[in-house]
Amino acid sequence: MRLALAPLLLLAPAAFAQPAGAPTPKAPASAPASQAAAPVSPELAAVIDGIQAFYGTAQDLKADFEQTYTYKVYGRKQRSTGKVFFKKKGKMRWDYQAPEPKVFVADGDTLWVYEPEQSQVFKRGLKQAQLPVALSFMSGEGKLTDEFDATLLPDPAPGRKLIELVPKRDAGEYRALRLEVDAATHAVQASTVIDPVGNTNHLVFANVQTNVGLPDAGFTFTPPAGVRVLTEPR
C-alpha cells in the first residue's frame, strides 16, 4: 500500500472531506502545462522514498484524526475529530465523531457518505481509473514522483520533515498538498490540502497503527432503512 495520507485525505480531497455547506471551489479554466521537473535533491529523494517505503509495507492502517477546515474568504475555521481506517485495494473509512457524526466508506468500488442528522446517503462510483490519488496509492499503484512535483520546505519542528506536492496534471479540487512526516520513520503526522481558492483542509493524525488486521466487513456499508439515497452517475 502506497498511501499519501492526505488527501488523507487526498486524503480525502476537498470533494470527500469538505465540511457540509462549504462552497465548492472552482478550478482555473485551464491548467498551465507542467514544466520540466527540477532535479530532486538527495534529501528530498530520501523523504519521498521513505514515505513510499513506510506505506508500502502496510496492509492496513488506523489512526485518530483532527481536521481543521479554514475558509479563506470568511476567515472561519471548522474543526472535526474522529477515526480513520485504510486497507489495500482502495478501501477506506472515516468515522467523524464531532461536531456531528458522519461516515465516509469506500469499498474499492463505491464511495458512501452517510449523514445521520440529515437522514441521507450519497453514493458515488469509484472506477479504478478515476480513484482519488490517495486511494490509487493504497491500491499499490503509482508513485508520488509520477503524480506530483515535490519541494522540500523548512523543517516545521525538530524531528519532522515537510514536503509540498503540486499535481502534475490539473486536479481541479486542490492545487497543492503538504505532508509533515516523522524524519526517522517517514510516517505522515499531518497533511494539508490547499484548494484552488486558498481554503485549507488540515489533518493531524495520532495513535497511528499499521498491519492490525482490519476486517473487510468494516469497509462495507448498507444504507439504513428510511434514509434518502442520492446516487451520482458512474
84-115 pLDDT, tens digit per residue, is: 998 887 788 999 999 999 998 988 888 898 99
The C-alpha cell of 218 is what?
Answer: 468494516
Q: What is the mean pLDDT of the chain?
A: 78
Q: Look at residue 204 in the predicted model and tell me its pLDDT.
A: 92
Q: Is 208 helix (H, G, I), strand (E, B) or coil?
A: strand
Domain 42-214's class?
mainly beta
Contact 107, 138 (CB under 8 A): no
pTM: 0.78
Alpha-carbon distance 132 to 173, whole Å?
A: 11
41-78 pLDDT, tens digit per residue, is: 999 999 988 888 887 788 888 999 999 999 988 889 99
